[in-house]
């Protein structure tokens, strides 16, 4: 960074704060230089030739000349392998204990002197030089891990390593967390280090807030997910393959993972996309379903400024007949930006405001940042400092992250000079969780975690804590190199468990800007500070799709973009997209203007009202998708290839998506477009605006006026919606002649009378299965039960169609 860049950086955060940021950055660099010794000369190591095996349930240990590999196929078909003593646990990515090994599986000889484990769903081969192959039951290779390579300091210390993998020439890569350039990940290098980009971002920016070593690979031979269970900093370099023409050889796709340290261990799940996500969430944890109200429209702004302004905004929605479920308060409602406080001048009676809004059906949601102002006398800081050391935990007394000399690590965030709770310590999670009682007492119904990568303002380098900073890591002890990527995940755990404990009668609502594999156990996420512009609109869809394929089904963007002022057209198109995404929230920076629909003119207001009304009409469908995600892991928002991964044209389609199984949504992502091409999966699809039928697979050109975006319904679909009277009904789209259709309806157990306060785990939802048929030109709908088909429980409305 040159002098001009430094000056600009200081102006962004203010001159005094800029100077403190410089000091914090240099302190961190000096600490890292002092505490993290240079690696010095290194020696490379590879496994060497195979020497023998030790059988264990589900597989066993393969010993090589210079390393050993543990391979295990688990009940359910998931595969684990780990090098040099790496075990399935402890792991932040795996929910509880790993599944039991498959007792029927064991080693047997394989080709060329290797070994293999054969099961009903997958075969795992180990070559005589340390390669690992995952094959279909028919023997087709889905993923080939080449022998790994380590670099160990000659003077001793942890190893860094590289793992190269090959996939089919036709394969496409997805996942790796929230990537603005996705959902299909093109050739390039992607960093695994949760990062605040420091302002608005677009498709070319990487990394972002949520990175995960989770790859979903789709090929003709099948779909698989690979999770390299390691939270250290790393880079993944992807290169798509190329099929040989004529008699030419195929060039396989490749993935190269380089990690700065930590274990080399991997999980693989194979099958159809639905089975893969089901298996992955069985490992990493079921997504928590948001409360039903959180599936409605949310409104947020950094800079409401006062309770009066919040009332004005809510009244604006009410007076214009616009649905609204929640209002989010940003850091400006705190006293001096200090977490767990309230500015009493601007919000003199926050509990009263919350009760008033709740009576109107609007909930308040509070921001919570992890950084605590290091201010003597500040209650949160003083209680954190007083937290005693737990027996057996490798950390100094106090709740905050410390350096190797036992001093608090300090950074610069919105309140000023701050310290950071160590959420990898169970005692700190319990202490921090207790602080949420203050938020509940203020009347908030949920929280959103921000700035939790974690962030420290710096004019250069990574905006985070020194890598030498010490963490408890559940009693094992370690530094920030291992803890950084799981910091937000453990903060989310602290918040979620506290909300369950403090308010057992309600399902917690929490979403987080940053996270890691398994974050769906505690809530969802959102895009963060996506740039205002058409590229930012496209990135919004990429993020939601990619996160869903990593097991995080509940997410959404800042509608309109975080920075800058969107044009009326851009705002409307973003709003129309957001209405079909799980988290539907408008939000903007303090200086980016308003995001209320009426601020963009009468025409935009009318079309935004239509989008809001349709979102509310589909609320029972979103509830069904939330409950299905909890049980099956299937995301609400799915790529078009979800049901047909063998369709190569669908694999490359990134500008449309499936909402559940029933709807295909084709947002407008370019300026000035009033028509757009839509790629259809196989089957018949109806334009929900005109009722016209189209046959897939293929591509059609559909109208996309300002008033709407193209939305198509699958023939035969049975969709739970709100009827004209506000009650539930089944919307049915006629099946094609000679075909049947159907759909699922899954109510929220809370709406059916169950309460978390009962003390029992949330029950499995009751899934109602409906089937639709065309009988003598009349559409018949039946509910399937164990006693046979019966009449539907809800009123049925058959949509009129043409063609």
Q: Which residues are catalytic?
A: 450, 453, 529
Query: DSSP labels for 220-270?
Result: TTEEEEEEE---S-EEEEEE--BPPSTTPPPB-EEEEEEESSS--EEEEEE
Closest CA to 585 of 628, 619, 556: 556
Half-sphere exposure of 791 (CA within 13 A, CB side): 3
Query: DSSP labels for 86-129?
Result: --S-S-SSS-SSPPPB-TT--EEE-GGG-EEEE-SS-EEEE-TT
**Is residue 420 a contact partner of residue 395, using CB atoms and an 8 Å limit?**
no
- Per-residue DSSP letter, 618: T
Closest CA to 607 of 617, 616, 597: 597
Secondary structure, 3-state, 304-355? CCCHHHHHHHHHHHHHCCCCCCEEEECHHHCECCECCCCCCCCCCCHHHHHH
**Is residue 706 a contact partner of residue 610, using CB atoms and an 8 Å limit?**
no
> CA 685, CA 445: separation in Å to the nearest integer?
39
Decide: helix, strand or coil at residue 801: coil
Strand intervals (E) in 649-732:
657-659, 663-665, 675-687, 693-703, 711-714, 718-722, 728-732
Tokens describing residue 519: 């974050």
> CA 503, CA 493: separation in Å to the nearest integer?
15
Residues 6+ apart with CB under 8 A from 2: none
Tokens describing residue 736: 């094609």
Give the DSSP H or E segment for 631. helix 619-632
**Is residue 223 a contact partner of residue 271, using CB atoms and an 8 Å limit?**
yes
> CA 773, CA 490: separation in Å to the nearest integer?
49
| Other beta carbons less than 10 A from residue 689's beta carbon | 16
**Is residue 745 a contact partner of residue 624, using CB atoms and an 8 Å limit?**
yes
Q: For 651-673, give one letter per residue: b (16+ CB within 10 A) or e.
A: bebbbbbbbbbbbbbbbbbeeee
For the chain, count helices (H), then strands (E).
Answer: 14, 46
Q: Are strands 510-512 and 446-449 parallel, antiparallel or unpaired?
A: parallel
| Other beta carbons less than 10 A from residue 31's beta carbon | 20
Closest CA to 132 of 106, 107, 165: 165
Helix, strand, coil percentages, rounded to 5, for the chain: 25, 30, 45
Round the CA-based radius of gyration of the chain to a whole number and report it. 27
Tokens describing residue 36: 């993290």
**Is residue 108 a contact partner of residue 118, using CB atoms and an 8 Å limit?**
yes
**Is residue 779 a contact partner of residue 799, using CB atoms and an 8 Å limit?**
no
CA dihedral 562, 367, 379, 13 (to 10 degrees): 0
Tell whether the torsion through CA atoms of 39, 41, 46 and 47 is positive or negative: negative
Q: List the beta bridge partners of residue 462.
A: none
**Is residue 706 a contact partner of residue 699, using CB atoms and an 8 Å limit?**
no
Residue pointed to by tokens 């589909």:
618
> CA 673, CA 469: separation in Å to the nearest integer?
51
- Length of the chain in residues, anyone? 803
């Amino acid at each position: 960074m040159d002098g001009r860049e430094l000056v600009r950086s200081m102006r962004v955060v203010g001159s005094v704060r800029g100077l403190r940021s410089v000091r914090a950055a240099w302190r961190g660099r000096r600490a890292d230089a002092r505490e993290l010794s240079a690696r010095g000369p290194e020696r490379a190591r590879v496994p060497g030739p195979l020497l023998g095996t030790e059988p264990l349930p589900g597989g066993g240990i393969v010993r090589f000349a210079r390393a050993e590999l543990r391979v295990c196929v688990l009940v359910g078909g998931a595969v684990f392998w780990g090098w040099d003593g790496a075990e399935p646990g402890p792991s932040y990515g795996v929910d509880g204990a790993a599944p039991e090994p498959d007792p029927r599986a064991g080693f047997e000889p394989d080709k060329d002197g290797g070994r293999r484990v054969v099961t009903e769903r997958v075969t795992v081969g180990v070559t005589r030089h340390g390669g690992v192959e995952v094959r279909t039951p028919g023997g087709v290779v889905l993923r080939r891990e080449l022998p790994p390579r380590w670099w160990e300091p000659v003077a001793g210390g942890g190893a860094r390593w590289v793992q190269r993998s090959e996939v089919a020439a036709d394969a496409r890569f997805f996942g790796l967390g929230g990537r603005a350039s996705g959902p299909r990940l093109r050739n390039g290098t992607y960093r695994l280090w949760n990062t605040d980009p420091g302002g608005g971002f677009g498709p070319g920016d990487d990394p972002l807030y949520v990175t995960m070593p989770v790859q979903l690979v789709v090929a003709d031979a099948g779909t698989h997910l690979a999770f390299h269970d390691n939270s250290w900093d790393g880079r993944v370099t992807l290169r798509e393959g190329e099929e040989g023409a004529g008699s030419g050889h195929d060039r396989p796709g490749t993935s190269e993972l380089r990690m700065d340290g930590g274990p080399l261990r991997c999980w693989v799940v194979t099958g159809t996309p639905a089975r893969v996500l089901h298996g992955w969430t069985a490992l990493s944890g079921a997504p928590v379903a948001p409360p039903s109200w959180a599936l409605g429209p949310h409104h947020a702004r950094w800079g409401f400024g006062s309770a009066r302004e919040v009332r004005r905004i809510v009244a604006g929605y009410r007076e214009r007949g616009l649905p609204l479920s929640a209002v989010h308060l940003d850091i400006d409602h705190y006293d001096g930006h200090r977490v767990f406080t309230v500015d009493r001048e601007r919000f003199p009676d926050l509990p009263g405001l919350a009760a008033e809004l709740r009576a109107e059906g609007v909930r308040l949601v509070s921001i919570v940042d992890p950084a605590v102002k290091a201010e003597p006398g500040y209650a949160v800081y003083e209680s954190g400092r007083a937290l005693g050391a737990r027996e057996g935990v490798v950390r100094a007394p106090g709740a905050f992250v410390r350096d190797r000399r036992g001093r608090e690590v300090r950074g610069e965030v919105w309140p000023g000079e701050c310290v950071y709770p160590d959420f990898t310590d169970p005692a700190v999670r319990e202490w921090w969780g207790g602080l949420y009682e203050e938020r509940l007492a203020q009347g908030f119904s949920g929280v959103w975690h921000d700035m939790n990568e974690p962030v420290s303002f710096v004019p250069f380098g990574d905006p985070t804590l020194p890598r030498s900073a010490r963490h408890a890591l559940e009693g094992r002890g370690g530094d920030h190199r291992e803890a950084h990527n799981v910091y937000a995940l453990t903060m989310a755990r602290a918040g979620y468990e506290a909300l369950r404990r403090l308010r057992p009668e309600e399902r917690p609502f929490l979403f987080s800007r940053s996270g890691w594999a398994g974050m769906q156990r505690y809530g969802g996420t959102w895009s963060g500070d996506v740039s205002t512009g058409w590229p930012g609109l496209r990135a919004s869809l990429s993020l939601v799709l990619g996160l869903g394929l990593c097991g995080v089904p509940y997410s959404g963007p800042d509608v309109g973009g975080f920075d800058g002022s969107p044009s009326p057209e851009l705002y409307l198109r973003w709003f129309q997209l957001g209405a079909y995404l799980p988290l539907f929230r408008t939000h903007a920076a303090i200086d980016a203007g308003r995001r209320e629909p009426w601020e963009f003119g009468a025409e935009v207001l009318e079309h935004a009202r239509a989008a809001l009304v349709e979102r509310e009409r589909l609320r029972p469908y979103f509830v069904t998708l939330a409950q299905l995600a909890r049980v099956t892991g299937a995301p609400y928002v799915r790529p078009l290839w979800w049901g047909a991964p063998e369709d190569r044209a669908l694999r490359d389609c990134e500008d449309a998506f499936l909402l559940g199984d029933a709807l295909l949504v084709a947002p407008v992502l370019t300026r000035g477009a009033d028509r757009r091409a839509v790629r259809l999966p196989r089957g018949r699809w109806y334009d929900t605006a005109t009722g016209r039928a189209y046959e897939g697979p293929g591509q059609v050109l559909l109208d996309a006026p300002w008033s709407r975006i193209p939305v198509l319904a699958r023939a035969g679909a049975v969709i739970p919606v709100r009827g004209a009277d506000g009650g539930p009904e089944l919307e049915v789209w006629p099946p094609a002649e000679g075909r049947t259709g159907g759909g699922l309806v899954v109510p929220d157990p809370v709406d059916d009378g169950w309460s978390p306060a009962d003390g029992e785990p949330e029950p499995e939802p009751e899934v109602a299965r409906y089937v639709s048929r065309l009988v003598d030109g009349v559409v018949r709908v039946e509910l399937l039960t164990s006693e046979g088909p019966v009449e539907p429980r809800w009123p049925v409305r058959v949509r009129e169609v043409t063609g």
